[in-house]
Amino acid sequence: MRVEGDVAVVGITDFAQHALGDIVFAELPAVGGRVEKGKSAAVVESVKSVSDVYAPVCGEVTEANKAVAEAPEVLNKSPYKDGWMFKVKMEDKSELNDLMDAAAYAKFAGAKK
């Protein structure tokens, strides 16, 4: 996830797309709907598994990336740029403090196997 002012741009990490394998389908939240921190907001499906994508913050969904819905392989190819999934207008910016930064995540992911 990256932050652009009031808006959180949510996707999956490179580690996640690699672990999932070829992504075949992504279910995105409805624009205008509300997502809750820690609850499932989107679903990513690969050939061998299905993963929930949890909203990192609470807020209203302002945009959902049609490109991902139409060609989910972009999540594999470009998870941090073209493969953004949805944008959330944050209700409470202090929630950002609870999240891991890139370095902490790399450590977390490395420990996982």
Partner 1 sequence: MRHAPASPRERKEMLDYLGIKACADLFKDVPECVRLRKPLNLPPGLTEQEADVHMRRLANENKLGPSFLGAGYYRHYIPAAVGHIISRSELYTAYTPYQAEVSQGVLQALFEYQSLMCELTGQEVSNATMYDGSTALAEACVMAHNITKRTEILASDTLHPQYREVLKTYCEAGGLKLSIIPSNDGTSSNIQPTENTAAVIVQTPNYHGIIEDTGRLQGKTHAAGGVLIGCVIEATSLGLLKPPSADIVVGEGQALGNTVSYGGPAFGFLTTGMKYVRNMPGRLVGETADSDGRRGYVLTLQAREQHIRREKATSNICTAQSLCGIAAAAYLALLGPEGFRRVAENSHRNAVYLSGRLLEHKGFSLVYDKPFYNEFLIRCPSGTYEKARKAGIIPGLTAGRNLLLISTTELHSREDLDTLAEAVK
Partner 2 sequence: MKTLMGESSHGRTGVLPPAVIHGAQARIPKDMVRQTLLLPELSEVDVIRHYTALSKMNFGVDSGFYPLGSCTMKYNPKLCEDAARLEGFAQIHPLQPEDTVQGALKLIYETEGALCEVTGMDAFTLQPAAGAHGELTGVMLTKAYFRDIGEDRRKILVADSSHGTNPASAAYCGYEVITIKSDGRGNLDLKELKEQMTTDVAALMLTNPNTLGLFDVNICEITEIVHAKGGLVYYDGANMNAIMGIARPADMGYDIIHLNLHKTFATPHGGGGPGSGPVGVVKKLSPYLPAPRIIEKSGRYGFDTGTPKSIGRVRAFHGSFAVILRAYCYMKLLGGDGLKEASETAVLNANYLMKKLKGHFDLPYDRTCMHEFVLSGRRQAHENGVHTLDIAKRLLDWGFHAPTIYFPLIVEEAIMIEPTETENKNTLDAFAEAMIKIAVECRENPELVKSAPKTTPVGRLDNTLAARQPVLTWKQKRGR
Residues that bind partner 2 (CB under 8 A): 21-22, 24-25, 45, 47, 72-73
Contact between 36 and partner 1 per CB under 8 A = no
CA pair distance 92, 106, nearest whole angstrom: 26
Structure tokens at 47: 């050939």
Which of 2, 10, 1 minimizes the C-alpha distance to 62?
10
Coarse DSSP helix, strand, coil percentages of the chain, rounded to the nearest 5 percent: 30, 35, 40
User: In the complex with partner 1, which residue's Cβ is closer, 25 or 108?
Assistant: 25
Name, in order, each residue with C-beta under 8 angstroms of 105's C-beta and a sequence gap of 6 or more: 13, 15
SS3 label, residue 86: strand
Contact between 70 and partner 1 per CB under 8 A = no
Shortest CB 75 distance to partner 1, Å: 15
Shortest CB 11 distance to partner 2, Å: 19
Shortest CB 77 distance to partner 2, Å: 13
Contact between 107 and partner 1 per CB under 8 A = no
Residues 5-24 that bind partner 1 (CB under 8 A): 24
